[in-house]
Chain A
């Protein structure tokens, strides 16, 4: 036996430690072996071995092993009493715990225990760990404990507690208001570390929601002028950067201290300098134009610097200025274009960002041309994609404001389709659609280009990945179909769309193909019929019937459905054609009317008409009493019948017109229908005002059919020529209109430079704005991201705290239910109450007794209470006892027996007498510990209870086995029957006023610890919670498992403490106070 044990220990000694593991891995030894070994080590009960194993796991995790399976072991190591192991446990937890870790809720009590540990490093390590894996639940449960730590005596703890509060706020925003006053106090903490931590937290908070922190400005102003810590200064300046836009007066105040700072640190501290510049730009810049010029000049120096970091930061800062003062940056265009050639991608991306704000009508083409060159040169798809999106961004910004020639833009888009491997196909497609729909004048040109794309689809379609370039075919097909009247070689395009290769495209694109080939077909049909070419018309029908089946067979449901529908339609048309009936008019009527661009937010902005209550019932909800078998009224009966009839496509013109009229009527009366604006294509639209929309025919100076792919350069040249011509004309006129010109110039110089103003768009282009519903509500809420985690922290901090805004104090799941003990809960609630209370497991006290040093009985009392029905005066308590065998012998057949008292009885299995012990369900090898639970029933809880008990067991060793006995006492203190229950001050006051409570008081002298500590002690040892604290006076509350209310008023004098108690039971109160006295006298 002993030999075995020694062998085990030696094994352990020679266990691979971490160093060996690392060495092994570095020497490429079999990883699997160590993995299995660690699992074995984790199973052992020696905490040192376990900690070692967890440490190894942490290392392995870094190498990419998933160690989430060991989460429970990590918690075990976290709860080790020795700092060495605790440290490792928390490190591992910080590495691998996250919100999805299911055992994380088990840590709450352990963390709380560590937070109140007398050893500051225990607390520290717990705080650090928690900062990495805090979840909303943990934040809620521990907020109060952490808040208490913010006033800890040791700055080391205060500092950490302040920092972790930020994480707590993020996870549990309700804690911000109650905790904020204390956080504010910490700004003036004597310890610089704590102070800087508080500045850090408040700056982070204020950066997201600056307006709530304006009232702190004077305090920060003071800090800024007094602090010598650079790190803190930078944070404060950053904070002011966020505050100044909200309070312009701040800017003026800041000038002086900032200049001082610049002088103090000026050249020495470069990063400080750049930060400063950035902050200035952030807000107060508009106040001093001199500073702005200076800044931009300085930035230019930074950008020209050979140090890449400075160059980057210079560009970054410049982009900040650009937002507010685009003009002062525009003069540095040369420099920024130069940066585009930089080897460093970060710098190029920054420069690109700047370009966005620098374009004007004049230089757009030039800039985009440069970018196109870069696109061709760029290696790496990320950068190329970035360039692509930038080009599109630049061109489309503020409703295509800077584009003077849309033909050029379309050809740029078409050129971009040649990019290989881009993931922004949908972006290009969206632009094509947008331009074609909104710029009417360009449609003819756009259609010709799109037809060409369709013709060359094989070049594009090879890349069928998601969002790949093939997306442009979607746009191309739609444009060609929708605006088919502009198509010159419609036949050819239709052929291209019917190629078998099309079936390899993604489903949604094929669907658009199918739909739009019918549009094309319709317009060809009309064309042929008008020209009297019946043969040709029939030929085209035949072509459709031949080719469509390939789509009918498609695996994509949408494609299949559309194709089979259309195939039937065309077969029918063919029948009519054979009978020589003219069909074109009817077919084209399928697609009559024009689609208008609708703004993306239009639907949201439809105002609710007056008198409409969206929450009101339209029909009264059916009452439950209504019998189910009642026949439903057949309102829809007739209609249903009509729907079930097979639909025939032979709706004649008249029928169609009638229906359309009816629908229009319906729409006119329907408040939700977004009415379309009148457009010339509408055949049934007879409202005036259509003609005044100027649609100017494009005078195309380039042949429409450019062989191969189009070249945007041609347009650049043409545009230049055009501008030159225009300028010459203008010059002539200028002489005549000199005076007028000057006046005009004065009026406009704030917006455009003179030369820019002169450039007129190539064609008078009418950009249709996206439609919004009538009386759309203006709202700025659209821009806010609902998922922004910081939005929840947008809380007014100046409002006084309400009573209800308390942090939950050592909450149990049943806190809610216990708050209103007297109210009659409805039956449904009772059920949930039961469930809640079952979850409530609470550590009571730890008591140990040793016997001859041979083994030790550690009993940890855990109490579980449940209240069901009227079990108010009977409670059950679960005591868990940890047995640890410290001897070298093997222990078995353990039995635990307790001498029952009248009041407290051990719960034994049915049929056994009071003298029978309860067998412990396990055996104990040497050095092993295990836990068993025993249930006791209690009658009264007003007095402390001591129960005598015996543990009998058989000791087995080499010499044989002996029967042994161990006596022990179980001590149930009165405090152990209390459950920490939060109480609100109004409820507390009501309770005191009620007059049902008995009173008693004690006084303890010679107390030296701080009041804060004292309260913490009472809370911890006696399960009270603080209701209210004023200076050195506090009211506290707790509640017993049988529903006694206990209220305390604790007052601290010079060296003494007096406690006045009120309780519904006088005996309980006096016993409690006695226990409290004992605790306090130890202080």
Chain B
């Protein structure tokens, strides 16, 4: 998989993860073109789109498009399944996820994606272990944050 994009029906990017680093300009151009292409498609059309030498697999959930670019030899249906799995993970984590959750906690959405897919390959197929990893990492984060009282924060303690 080359990259994952999440964008709204209005063409606003909500999440982007590129598994092949490239210059900012190229990424932005690609994202823009892809959004246009996907948004132009009608609801009943198939979820696959040939885009240059890549293939784009996308699916719409409510007002959000989830979009993955894969190489020619990758499995399209597997990618669809992957998108679905990611949505399920988001849903579990946020508890019935909506677009606003992803906007305001975009870093969490990234963390979940990173636990699930790494470097363009599926990292863990089990939902449980992904969620466990995220929860524990969050716990670690809270531990970090909790001892800091307001006074400490102000440098008075």
The answer on a CB contact under 8 Å between B118 and A160 is yes
Whole-angstrom CA separation of A99 from B22 in the bound complex: 7
Q: Which residue of A lies closest to B129 (CB)?
A: A193
Whole-angstrom CA separation of A436 from B136 in the bound complex: 72
Q: How far is the CB of A359 from chain B (nearest CB, A)?
A: 21
The answer on a CB contact under 8 Å between A201 and B121 is yes
The answer on a CB contact under 8 Å between A193 and B123 is yes
Which residues in B have their C-beta under 8 angstroms from that of A128? Answer: 114-115, 118
Task: Name the one of A19, A96, A926 contacting B24, with C-beta atoms under 8 angstroms.
Answer: A96
Is B155 on the interface with A (CB-CB < 8 A)? yes
The answer on a CB contact under 8 Å between B45 and A275 is no
Which residues in B have their C-beta under 8 angstroms from that of A200? Answer: 121-122
The answer on a CB contact under 8 Å between A124 and B133 is yes
Is B63 on the interface with A (CB-CB < 8 A)? no
The answer on a CB contact under 8 Å between A131 and B19 is yes
Which residues in A have their C-beta under 8 angstroms from that of B107? Answer: 18, 55, 58, 87-88, 91
Interface residues in A495-525 (C-beta closer than 8 Å to B): none
Whole-angstrom CA separation of A131 from B126 in the bound complex: 21
Q: Which residue of B lies closest to A6 (CB)?
A: B154
Is B62 on the interface with A (CB-CB < 8 A)? no
Q: How far is the CB of A1048 from chain B (nearest CB, A)?
A: 36
Q: How far is the CB of B117 from chain A (nearest CB, A)?
A: 9
Interface residues in A222-263 (C-beta closer than 8 Å to B): 229-232, 234, 238
What is the size category of the interface that chain B forms with chain A? Answer: 35 or more
Whole-angstrom CA separation of A64 from B150 in the bound complex: 35
The answer on a CB contact under 8 Å between B155 and A166 is no
The answer on a CB contact under 8 Å between B73 and A207 is yes
Whole-angstrom CA separation of A311 from B13 in the bound complex: 30
Which residues in A have their C-beta under 8 angstroms from that of B77? Answer: 270-271, 274-275, 309, 313
The answer on a CB contact under 8 Å between A62 and B14 is yes
Given known pairs A62-B106, A164-B118, the reply for A234 and B17 (CB within 8 Å) is no
Given known pairs A200-B122, A343-B42, A927-B155, the reply for A312 and B141 (CB within 8 Å) is no
Which residues in A have their C-beta under 8 angstroms from that of B28? Answer: 64
Is A63 on the interface with B (CB-CB < 8 A)? yes
Is A798 on the interface with B (CB-CB < 8 A)? no
Which residues in A have their C-beta under 8 angstroms from that of B103? Answer: 22, 26
Task: Name the one of B46, B114, B137, B154 contacting A83, with C-beta atoms under 8 angstroms.
Answer: B137
Which residues in B have their C-beta under 8 angstroms from that of A82? Answer: 144
Whole-angstrom CA separation of A87 from B107 in the bound complex: 9
The answer on a CB contact under 8 Å between A309 and B137 is no
Give the segment of A344-352, A416-424, A736-744, A800-808 that binds chain B.
A344-352
Q: How far is the CB of B5 from chain A (nearest CB, A)?
A: 10
The answer on a CB contact under 8 Å between B133 and A346 is no
Which residues in B have their C-beta under 8 angstroms from that of A308? Answer: 44-47
Whole-angstrom CA separation of A309 from B81 in the bound complex: 13
The answer on a CB contact under 8 Å between A311 and B118 is no
Is B49 on the interface with A (CB-CB < 8 A)? yes
Which residues in A have their C-beta under 8 angstroms from that of B78? Answer: 231, 234, 271, 275
Task: Name the one of B76, B81, B121 contacting A197, with C-beta atoms under 8 angstroms.
Answer: B121
Is A968 on the interface with B (CB-CB < 8 A)? no
Contact with B along A305-318 (1 / 0, CB 8 A): 00011011100100
Given known pairs A9-B154, A311-B46, the reply for A62 and B16 (CB within 8 Å) is yes
The answer on a CB contact under 8 Å between A9 and B137 is no
Q: Which residue of B lies closest to A26 (CB)?
A: B103
Is A596 on the interface with B (CB-CB < 8 A)? no
Q: Which residue of A lies closest to B45 (CB)?
A: A344
Q: How far is the CB of A86 from chain B (nearest CB, A)?
A: 10
Whole-angstrom CA separation of A121 from B134 in the bound complex: 10
Contact with B along A150-166 (1 / 0, CB 8 A): 00000010011001101
Given known pairs A83-B140, A238-B75, the reply for A231 and B153 (CB within 8 Å) is no
Which residues in A have their C-beta under 8 angstroms from that of B141? Answer: 83-84, 87
Which residues in B have their C-beta under 8 angstroms from that of A18? Answer: 104, 107
Whole-angstrom CA separation of A874 from B119 in the bound complex: 47
Q: Which residue of A lies closest to B136 (CB)?
A: A121
The answer on a CB contact under 8 Å between B140 and A121 is yes
Which residues in B have their C-beta under 8 angstroms from that of A164? Answer: 118-119
Q: Which residue of B lies closest to A127 (CB)?
A: B118
Is A68 on the interface with B (CB-CB < 8 A)? yes
Q: How far is the CB of B43 from chain A (nearest CB, A)?
A: 10
Q: Which residue of B lies closest to A97 (CB)?
A: B21
Whole-angstrom CA separation of A700 from B150 in the bound complex: 96
Q: Name the residue in A131, A192, A311 with the highest tally of chain B Cβ atoms < 10 Å from its Cβ.
A: A131
Query: 13 more A-B contacts (CB under 8 A) besides A230-B125, A271-B78?
Result: A63-B12, A83-B137, A84-B141, A87-B141, A99-B21, A119-B140, A132-B119, A156-B133, A163-B119, A308-B47, A309-B47, A344-B41, A927-B155
8 shortest interchain CB distances as A-B pairs:
A271-B77, A308-B46, A131-B119, A98-B21, A9-B154, A344-B45, A312-B46, A128-B114
- 18 pairs from A and B in contact (CB 8 Å cutoff): A12-B153, A82-B144, A84-B144, A91-B110, A94-B17, A94-B114, A125-B137, A131-B118, A160-B118, A163-B118, A193-B129, A196-B122, A308-B46, A309-B77, A346-B45, A346-B46, A346-B48, A349-B50
